[in-house]
Structure formats: C-alpha cells, structure tokens
C-alpha cells in the first residue's frame, strides 16, 4: 500500500519535472520556427540552386551538382567582387574617421544636448534608404551646390562630374551606413568611466596620450562593432552603385541583382551570393580574432 | 615630459583656496599647510568639501580663487600630468584593458623612465602582489585592486600622494588590515600622504595630523589624540567619537580650574581646555571617562548625582549606559567590564563622576548635536 503511494508520488513528480524541462523549448519554438522558415530553408535553397544547370526553357533549372558554377561565377565577376570589398573598406574607413570625433563629442562634450544629438544621428532612418540615396544624386548632381562650389574653387574642371563616379558611390555608402558606425561607438565611449581619463592624466599622460592609450583601447568594442555593422552591409550593397555610379563602378550586389532579375541566371546568382557570404564570413572572423574583442568586452 | 614643476617638492600649502559650484561654496577660503613627509587626513562628512580640495590639489578641478603651492612652486593652474602628485582613486580606476604590470608601469612609461621593469617589480613587492603581474584588474579581489592602485601611484615617487576614500569599498576586516599596511608603507617610502575620508577611525589609526572639515571650512586641526581629548567645537566633539555636552555657565573664572554651574551642580573645568568665549558654555565629557556607581557611593572629582539608568547594553568589552539626569538629559557612560561586579540594571539610581582634567568646554552658542548625525558611528 505504502509502496504504491510512494510510486504514484514519484510518477507525478516526474511528469511535473518533464513539463518544466520542456518549457524552455516551448518558449524557444517561435524563434526556431522563424529561423527554419526564413533562414535555413532559404540557405538550403540557395546552396541547392548554386549547383543547378539550365533545363528546358528560360528560368527552369535542374540539379546537376555542377560545382564549376562557382568557378564560372568568380572568373566572370572577379573585378566587381574585388571592387565591392574595396568600396566597402573605404566607406568603413571614412565612416570611422567621421564617426569617432562625432561619437566622442556626443559622449563627453555635449552636456544637455546629448539626447538631441542622438536623435539627429538616428534621424536619417525616418526616411527610406532608397530616397536618401536618390537625394545624394541631387546633392552631388550638376545642379547641386557641392559641384558648383568645387568648380568655383577650381578643384573640379567644367567637364568633371561627381555623380557616376567611384567617389559618389563610396560617399553614398559612407553616408548611408554612418549611423551604424556612430551608435556602437557612442555606446562604448559613453560607457568609459571618466575616472579612467583622470587617472591617466594623474599618471603623467597628456590629453593626446590619454586618448591613444586609454580612450581608444577602451572604445575598441565599439570600433569593432561599428566597422562590422558598416562593412558587411556595404559590401553587399547595390543601391549606391546603381544610383550614384556608372557601369565601371558596379559592385557584386549589382551583378547578383542583374543575374537574378535580368538574365534570369539563378545558379550563377546563387553561386555569387554564396561566394560573397563566405568571403565576408572569413574576413570578419579573421578581423574579430585580430581585434581580440573577447578580451576587451 | 619631466619639467621643473614635476620635480617640485616640499610642504603643500593651500592659500585662501575657494571652490564654488554655482551658488554652492564647496571649499570656503581654506588655509592649510601640510608638512613634507607627513600622513595627513582630511576628515569630514560627505559634502564637506574634502574631495573637492583633494581634486584641486590633483589638478582635476580648478579653484575659483586662491592658490596651491608645493614647496615654493605655484601649481594652482598646472595641468594634472605635470604635477608631481599621484592619486589613489576611490574605486581605484585601474585600466581594465591593461595587465597589472602595465597598470603599474603606466606612469613610468609616460615619463620615459629607464628601468621600468625594476621599479615595477619593487612596487609590486611592496604591496606583495608580484605573482599577479600578468593578470587583468577584473581578475583581482577588491583588496588586491586597492593595493595595485597604491603601487601604481607610489611607483612614481611623487612629492605628494593623494588618497580619496581609498578603503571605502573594502569590508571591515580588510579595511583594518589595509590601514596598518598603508601606515607602514607611508613610513617606508616617506612620501607625503594626504588622505580623504569620512571614517574617523580610519583617520585616527593612520594620520599624524587630522583636519576636520565641515561645510567647506576646517573646524579643527591637530593630532588624533589632541582632537579627541580636547575638541574645540561641538562638531568635532560629536564627529570624532561620542561626547556628552551639557549646557552650563561659568560662575567663577579666576583659578586654573574654572567653575561651571550645570543645573545647580558645580563642576571644575581646566582653564586651558575651555574654548567658550563668554560665560555660556557647553561642558563636554567623553562617555568612557565617566565612572558610574550605585547612588550613595562616595566618589571624587566632578560628581553628578540623581541619575537613573534608562538603558544598559552589555557589549563584551564594556557596558554602555544611558543615564537620565534630573534635568531630563540622557548622558552616555561606557564602563569597562574589569572589576568583576555585575553590571548595573535599568532603573538603578546612580552617581556618576570623572576626573576634572578630562572636562572640556565649548562655546555655549553652538548646536550641541552638530556633527553627530554625520558621524558614521551613529548611523
């Protein structure tokens, strides 16, 4: 009798326990389902498409496991691929140069204007990415103020242009991804204890040395986050090259877009997309390892 | 980066030093000389201006007026990195991205010192943490961080070492150990230490000279024993330990001992220990100086009769009594448990007495409770 009671007791306990054990999975379920539908399935499809070849009729492809698609893709679009990383690198560099003083000023020198300035930094997000890039076309265009000033100052000749140049593309990329650089930088600078700088000054470091030896190292998590958030989307971007560039400034994003939507070469586009993804992943991993963020954060 | 002012040394002199933040006067016309090689404590409740004073000496805050001299060199407006002054910050402010070794070497490297390695080793040996040289600050305990902060400052052999509540973040036991260690290190290196604290016990344990600060001014300055035994204001009497302050008036000022009338009883007050400027006086006596006996026992010295014990708490080394006097005031009496007799109980009628030489007199127009609410002991 008593053994039976004991038995049911432990049994009930077990079911309660297993219910409790399952709870985290139930809570994770929406996220996992989302990930499967919108990440794993598309990735599988992308990989699968990348080795297909043309079937009967335009836009129909069959799986033939043709890995040479990758070699074809690289040989035909090598220039655009390299250019993408060049432009993304330059845009990241310029964004860093512009953002660091800006984030520094907002974090340490803005006083009661801090919130206003932060809102201003985020303000461009209230307008669509596409519209902002079109606006840059106007700003740098023949009727714009920038070119008039540059021509007046004889920096540019009458036949020189700003739009449809690599300069315009890099400028557009820099501008569009600037908040992604500024915000993480601001966040990590703002977190620095002001006493660190006081301690540095107390230990015979002047303002410049304090900046180099204390402020910059302590803001490295922000630098790493900001450069990644700028570099990754910039490398895959095609809007800026499309609207602000010329045929000679095409980036890998433009090639992929054209293969999907114009040439209807799905395998080629898929192969290029994968190449872009893997290259970015390798670059980012090498970068993060070198920056040693795990030690800094 | 070393220039003339970096090699300045000598007494630290503050002249008419004032700091205002808007309408608030944090430091009010302060005059102070801190002799070279001494362990000096600025003691006061939070907001009394002690940290602001320290920050002005470090160069982290610019005075509104007045000047700061180190020896004969005026350093009032000198940049912090050009002063031969180092600070041990509250919460230490160690650089989290540098190893312990590099933290300690920071000041030496900035000054371009040659034998960095030897000096860092020596500083780490002094605080007995050589084995932690390759760690990062966040891998150290609070007490270890505190010692590294100290090593990082004294490795530079400054003319002046400033300590801003250096032991505030440590637990009681560690604090006691560090107090002794700090005092020993100061004797060892011979650098002038200026120590800011709100903890009277910390100041008394370590400092040669204490300046008690209140509302931007120095209330009294002197050796710990001097301040404790012969306070000049009710603030000092209450902030440094505890005091019984009884209102009275001087009825005979002719002899070496002035005679004070408190509610009908005549009490002797040594003339040298009277700081009242007229006949109105706050008569002071420390609780542990008072003897307590059952009513009717004959006693000598200054005697007060008619007390009734309103509270008695036995705390091991002593028993602390609250004695209600006929005029309604409660006096504190701390009695050593050293005579084998059982402690007196609540409700007992008692007579209390003390040696006249322990009596002190304060100006009668002050608030008898000033400083007691700021005293961390009574928190």
Question: B60, B52, B54: which is closest to B41 by C-alpha?
Answer: B54
Contact yes or no for B110 and A203 at CB 8 A: yes
Task: With cut-offs at 50, 70 and 90, classify the pLDDT of residue A42.
Answer: very high
Window B:117-156, CB contacts with A under 8 Å: 152-153, 156
Tell me the domains of chain B and their CATH numbers: 4-226 (3.40.50.300), 230-378 (2.40.50.140)
Contact yes or no for B107 and A204 at CB 8 A: yes
What does the block give as tokens for B78?
A: 């000198």
For B30, the 3-state DSSP assignment is: strand
Q: State the Cα–Cα distance between residues A89 and A108, nearest whole angstrom.
A: 28
Provide ipTM, 2 decimals: 0.81
pLDDT for residue A213: 93
B331: closest CA of chain A, how far (Å)? 45
A158 has a pLDDT exceeding 80? no
Of B60, B107, B152, the CB nearest to A198: B60
Per CB-CB distance under 8 Å, the chain B contacts of A200 are 95, 106
pLDDT for residue A5: 47
Per the prediction, chain B carries an average pLDDT of 89
* DSSP assignments along B156-180, one per residue: T--SEEEEESTTTTS-HHHHHHHHH
pLDDT for residue B3: 44
Q: State the Cα–Cα distance between residues A136 and A221, nearest whole angstrom.
A: 31
For an interface test with A, the pick among B5, B79, B80 (most A C-beta atoms closer than 10 Å) comes out as B80
Q: State the Cα–Cα distance between residues B11 and B37, nearest whole angstrom.
A: 8
Contact yes or no for A198 and B86 at CB 8 A: no
Phi-psi region of B314 (alpha: psi -120 to 50; beta: other; left: phi over 0): beta
Q: Which carries the bigger pLDDT value, residue A276 or residue B338?
A: A276
B320 has a pLDDT exceeding 70? yes
> pLDDT exceeding 70 applies to what percent of chain B?
96
How is the beta sheet containing B280-285 ordered, strand by strand?
A: B265-270, B257-262, B244-252, B280-285, B360-363
Task: With cut-offs at 50, 70 and 90, classify the pLDDT of residue B4.
Answer: very low
Write the pLDDT tens digit of every residue in A206-216.
Answer: 999 999 999 99
Task: With cut-offs at 50, 70 and 90, classify the pLDDT of residue A25.
Answer: confident
pLDDT for residue B182: 87
Of A201, A209, A217, the CB nearest to B97: A217
- Pairing mode, strands B192-197 and B39-43: parallel
How is the beta sheet containing B318-324 ordered, strand by strand?
A: B291-294, B349-354, B302-314, B318-324, B330-336
Contact yes or no for B60 and A200 at CB 8 A: no
Contact yes or no for A204 and B60 at CB 8 A: no
Give the number of beta-carbon pairs within 8 Å between A and B. 66
pLDDT for residue A59: 73
A36 has a pLDDT exceeding 90? yes
Task: Compute φ and ψ for A241, nearest 5 degrees.
Answer: -65, -35
Tell me the mean pLDDT in the region A20-45: 91
Alpha-carbon torsion, ordered A166, A167, A170, A172, to 10 deg: -110
Instruction: Kindly list the distances between the CA atom of residue B238 and the CA atoms of B167, B235, B300, B372, in Å, as whole numbers in the listed order.
Output: 23, 5, 27, 5
pLDDT for residue A164: 85
pLDDT for residue A293: 52
Q: State the Cα–Cα distance between residues A272 and A258, nearest whole angstrom.
A: 12
Of B6, B89, B153, the CB nearest to A195: B89
With beta carbons less than 8 A apart as the criterion, state whether A206 and A161 touch: no
Contact yes or no for A196 and B1 at CB 8 A: no
B149: closest CA of chain A, how far (Å)? 10
Write the pLDDT tens digit of every residue in B148-185.
Answer: 999 999 999 999 999 998 888 788 888 888 888 888 88
Task: With cut-offs at 50, 70 and 90, classify the pLDDT of residue A99.
Answer: very high
Write the pLDDT tens digit of every residue in B215-267.
Answer: 999 999 999 999 999 999 999 999 998 999 999 999 988 888 889 999 989 99
A295 has a pLDDT exceeding 80? no
Question: B192, B186, B183, B129: which is closest to B159 by C-alpha?
Answer: B192
Contact yes or no for B96 and A218 at CB 8 A: yes
Per CB-CB distance under 8 Å, the chain B contacts of A201 are 59-60, 79-81
């Amino acid at each position: 009798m008593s053994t039976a009671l004991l038995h049911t007791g432990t049994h009930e306990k077990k079911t309660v326990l297993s219910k409790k054990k399952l709870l985290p999975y139930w809570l994770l379920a929406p996220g996992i389902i989302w990930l499967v539908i919108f990440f794993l399935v598309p990735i599988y499809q992308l990989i699968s498409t990348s080795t297909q070849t043309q079937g009967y009729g335009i836009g129909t492809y069959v799986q033939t496991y043709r890995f040479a698609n990758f070699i074809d893709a690289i040989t035909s679009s090598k220039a655009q691929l390299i250019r993408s990383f060049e432009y993304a690198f330059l845009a990241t560099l310029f964004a860093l140069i512009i953002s660091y003083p800006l984030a520094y000023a907002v974090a340490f020198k803005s006083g009661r204007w801090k919130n206003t300035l932060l809102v201003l930094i985020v303000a461009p997000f209230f307008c669509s990415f596409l519209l902002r890039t079109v606006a840059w076309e106007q700003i740098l265009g023949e009727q714009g103020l920038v070119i008039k000033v540059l021509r007046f100052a004889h920096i540019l000749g009458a036949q020189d242009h700003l739009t449809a140049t690599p300069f315009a593309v890099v400028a557009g990329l820099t501008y569009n991804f600037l908040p992604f650089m500024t915000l993480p930088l601001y966040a990590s600078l703002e977190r620095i204890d002001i006493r660190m700088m006081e301690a540095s000054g107390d230990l015979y470091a002047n303002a410049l040395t304090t900046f180099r030896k204390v402020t910059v190292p302590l803001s490295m998590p922000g630098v790493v986050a900001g450069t990644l958030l700028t570099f990754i989307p910039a490398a895959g971007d095609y809007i800026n090259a499309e609207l602000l560039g010329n045929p000679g400034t095409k980036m890998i994003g433009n090639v992929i877009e054209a293969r999907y939507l114009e040439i209807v070469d799905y395998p080629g586009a898929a192969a290029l997309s994968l190449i872009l993804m893997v290259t970015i992943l390798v670059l980012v991993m090498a970068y993060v390892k070198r920056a040693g963020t795990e030690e800094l954060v | 980066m070393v220039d003339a002012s970096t090699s300045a040394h000598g007494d630290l002199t503050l002249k008419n030093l004032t700091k205002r933040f808007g309408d608030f006067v944090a430091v009010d016309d302060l005059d102070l000389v801190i002799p070279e090689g001494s362990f000096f404590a600025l003691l006061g409740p939070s907001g009394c201006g002690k940290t602001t004073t320290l920050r002005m000496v470090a160069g982290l805050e610019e005075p509104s007026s007045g000047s700061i001299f180190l020896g004969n060199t005026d350093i009032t407006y000198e940049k912090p990195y050009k002063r031969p002054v180092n600070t041990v910050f509250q919460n230490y402010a160690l650089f989290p991205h540098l190893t312990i070794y590099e933290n300690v070497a920071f000041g030496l490297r900035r000054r371009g010192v040659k034998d960095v390695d030897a000096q860092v080793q020596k500083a780490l040996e002094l605080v007995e943490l050589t084995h932690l040289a390759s760690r990062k600050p966040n891998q150290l305990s609070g007490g270890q961080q505190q010692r590294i902060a100290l090593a990082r400052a004294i490795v530079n052999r400054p003319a002046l070492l400033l300590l801003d509540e250096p032991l505030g973040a440590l637990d009681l036991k560690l604090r006691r150990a560090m107090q002794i260690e700090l005092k020993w290190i100061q004797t060892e290196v011979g650098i002038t230490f200026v120590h800011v604290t709100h903890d009277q016990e910390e100041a008394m344990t370590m400092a040669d000279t204490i300046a008690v600060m209140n509302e931007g001014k120095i209330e009294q300055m002197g050796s710990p024993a001097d301040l404790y035994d012969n306070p000049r204001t009710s603030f000092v009497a209450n902030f440094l330990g505890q005091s019984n302050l009884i209102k009275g008036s001087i009825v005979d000022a002719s002899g070496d001992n002035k005679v004070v009338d408190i509610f009908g009883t005549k009490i002797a007050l040594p003339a040298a220990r009277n700081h009242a400027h007229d006949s109105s006086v706050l008569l002071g006596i420390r609780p542990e100086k008072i003897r307590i006996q059952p009513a009717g026992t004959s006693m000598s010295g200054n005697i007060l009769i008619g007390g009734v014990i309103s509270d008695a708490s036995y705390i091991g080394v002593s028993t602390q009594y609250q004695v209600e006097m006929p005029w309604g005031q409660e006096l504190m009496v701390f009695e050593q448990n050293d005579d084998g007799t059982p402690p007196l109980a609540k409700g007992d009628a008692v007579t209390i007495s003390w040696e006249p030489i322990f009596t002190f007199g304060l100006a009668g127009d002050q608030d008898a409770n000033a400083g007691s609410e700021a005293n961390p002991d009574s928190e």
